[in-house]
Structure 1
């Protein structure tokens, strides 16, 4: 088997792996202006691990010029991919920098083929099977068998249970494992302790007369925050693209850990559909507002945080990693951030809660313990070399490929 890393190898973003020059796994987008896509390719078929922009964001561009490779994904990933594509097109206002067109988004329906977990299917002459990865709804480990080699592409995964999803337990036989390493340098505490700290901070802030803004990623983290608020009987508003994501997940709730708990959280939350004036009125209440974007790079959070910034009684509760250079990181570390071109000081308290849906160092190592006889390729991280070196010290045949590299495995 020949594999070529088109993106996402020694970086987080724009993941893409080409197998035997025929089968493409993921084709992601990296944010920026203009957004960056992986190396261009014309595959016979595409397999998508999950519905996050850095794995699925550039897929519509593969349908340009009348090309129509079949795209294989789970039902939940299919739902999320179209929504993300339309949002990306809306945000990329410069038509010359857009990674794809509205027509190419429309063509997704012509080529889409959905599959459940553990249902083997054929794609570009390969046997492919999805296994539940426990990352976001519909996320999958991808097992590819070309008759000679079994390749396991982990995609993004989590080994611990979340309220939204159960952790990954599938460990299919494989000769080669392409393993994500996003949090290979991180060891987390107990998730239930994190939940309880989060709920306590929200309750205490509201009890003291304050307002809480919870910046959250639209896919996965918004819905996790909704479930936590429902479980701890904390009233919350939900705003931004996370609202539409939640509604779409109702269509595929068999991909969730507890569909009834999710329906309860949907009933418990108050979805915001109004304009800026309504948002300002809500910000003046003693309440909790879960809203995009998770790193304060846009969305309704750009209205809510400035509205509550003046009082230390209020709280901005981050539930996701804040990348260096984002307004969220600046606010968390320095107490000021750029809001739509205005750098504003924020007197409201800031606190971070680690609700990551990625496996940490211990989770990655426990997963790979089942693959000590396999070749391991570490990708999708800021320290892939360091992770591969640590694995080699422990007896693994591990290495960290770079973008553009081709390997005969």
Structure 2
């Protein structure tokens, strides 16, 4: 197999791996001040998508002029289509180029094949199968076997631990080559229960003094998990943004969820806010769960514009913040850019590790398990320290491992 790493090489974002110039594994974008895309020049016959987050699926419609076959799980398709429509709407409002148009989106809808996990399928001479990745509902790792019987396993974003929303990944197949994400290599997540308690304590402290709690949350996965946590503590919340639409899509596929009844209850007990009613939300001792998770646009900016100076209130950040985003600037420098204006935050900013990714311990366990069962080559990607991860694999496990640079090619 020939592998070419078109993105997410020694970075987080724009995941894309091209296999034998034919099969593309993910095709995402990297958010920031200027959106970055995978290296161009690819003409894949098929695109296999691990999950719907923009850094893995957001640029797939850009490939539709080449008419590749597209494969993903049914829920991933619904969520990816929702995000693609939103991307076009935002680009149209800003007068910007989304990288694709409505015709590309229509082709994407027509060319996508939906396959549930554990069902074998074939494309252009390759045998493939999705495996539950435990990251967000519908997320899958990808097994691919080539015409020469060489096989690889691409984790995508993966989590082997259960969360409130989904079960953790497990039961991996044997594979000659492993391509693994590295987001949290070198960093273990705190025990989930401990972190949830600290989050709730901070939130309640804020409400008790009349402050507001703004919880920026990714629309897919994080919004739903946070509302389930709040509901379990009897805390009412306002929920605003695309997380509501994502919830409705998830409920069409309850078998992808760990506890669909609890998720349904969490949204039933929340107050759903539409754009027209946003100004009716009382900004006094209120909890608002809203997109965007990295503070780059979305309803969250409306609320922050009103209370960014309020020292009694808090922003509780719940996810990874890519460099160059408002979320990262808020954490590092206490500032955000809102409608072209730099705002110095008086509101407190805290970050909690609700990660849906494996931590260091789990990443190492995955690699060890694969190599114990015969994996000969490991590639580390989608992380800020992929080189150290590859070095650990070579030194501790004794297996060939690489941290590809952008555009680098390998034969395995």
Pick closer, same or farther for the CA change 1:327–1:46 going to 2, 3 Å.
Answer: closer
Distance of 2:410 and 2:293 partners within structure 1: 36
**Structure-2 separation of matches of 1:281 and 1:348:** 21
Structure 1 residues 365-404: aligned runs within 5 Å = 365-372=364-371, 373-374=374-375, 375-394=377-396, 395-404=398-407
* 2:167 counterpart residue number: 166
Alignment of 1:89-100 (within 5 A): 89-93=88-92, 97-100=97-100
Distance in 2, matches of 1:332 and 1:136, equals 25
How big is each residue's C-alpha offset from its partner over 1:244-273, in whole Å with a ceiling of 9 and x where there is no partner?
111211122221111111111121121111
Report the CA distance between 1:32 and its aligned residue: 4.7
- In 1: Cα distance, 2:335 partner to 2:44 partner: 45
Question: Which residue of structure 2 lines up, in the alignment, with residue 257 of structure 1?
Answer: 258
Q: CA deviation at 1:334?
A: 3.2
Deviation for aligned residue 1:295: 1.7
User: Which residue does 2:240 correspond to in 1?
Assistant: 239
* Distance apart, 1:196 and its partner CA: 1.0
Q: Contact between 1:211 and 1:283, CA under 8 Å: does it hold in 2? A: no
Query: Residues 369, 95 of structure 1: CA spacing in aligned structure 2 closer, same or farther, 3 A cutoff?
Result: same
Spell out, residue by residue over 1:182-236, the C-alpha distance to the aligned partner (whole angstroms, 9 max, x if none).
1112122101111111112222222222211001111111111111111111101
Unaligned runs of 5+ in 1: none
Residue 408 of structure 2 aligns with which residue?
405
| Residue of structure 2 in register with 1:296 after alignment | 295
Cα distance per residue 1:120-156 (max 9 Å; x no partner): 1001211101100011111111000124211001101
Deviations 1:90-131 (CA, angstroms, capped at 9, x unpaired) = 222466733101111112221121111111100121110110
- Aligned equivalent of 2:43: 42
Check whether the contact 1:320–1:356 (CA below 8 A) recurs between aligned residues: yes
| Ranges in structure 2 where 5+ consecutive residues have no aligned partner | none
TM-score by structure 1 length?
Answer: 0.94
Q: Aligned residue for 1:323?
A: 322
The CA distance in 2 between the partners of 1:332 and 1:16, in whole Å, is 28
Match of 1:20 in 2: 20
TM-score normalised by length of structure 2? 0.94
Query: In structure 2, what is the Cα distance between the partners aligned to 1:345 and 1:302?
Result: 14
The whole-number CA distance in structure 2 between the counterparts of 1:253 and 1:112 is 21
Query: Which whole-Å CA distance do the structure 2 matches of 1:222 and 1:37 have between them?
Result: 26
How far apart are the structure 2 equivalents of 1:130 and 1:301? 34
Q: Compared with structure 1, are the counterparts of its residues 337 and 36 closer, same or farther at alpha carbon in structure 2 (3 Å cutoff)? A: closer
| 1:287 is aligned to 2:286 | yes
SS at match of 2:281: helix
1:330-352 per-residue CA deviation (whole Å, 9 max, x = no partner) reads 22333332221222233222211
In 2, the alpha carbon distance for the partners of 1:209 and 1:392 equals: 54
Contact 1:34–1:97 (CA under 8 A) maintained in structure 2: no
Other-structure match for 1:340: 339
**Alignment-derived partner of residue 68 in structure 2:** 69
Query: For 2:24 and 2:67, how far apart are their aligned partners in 1?
Result: 13
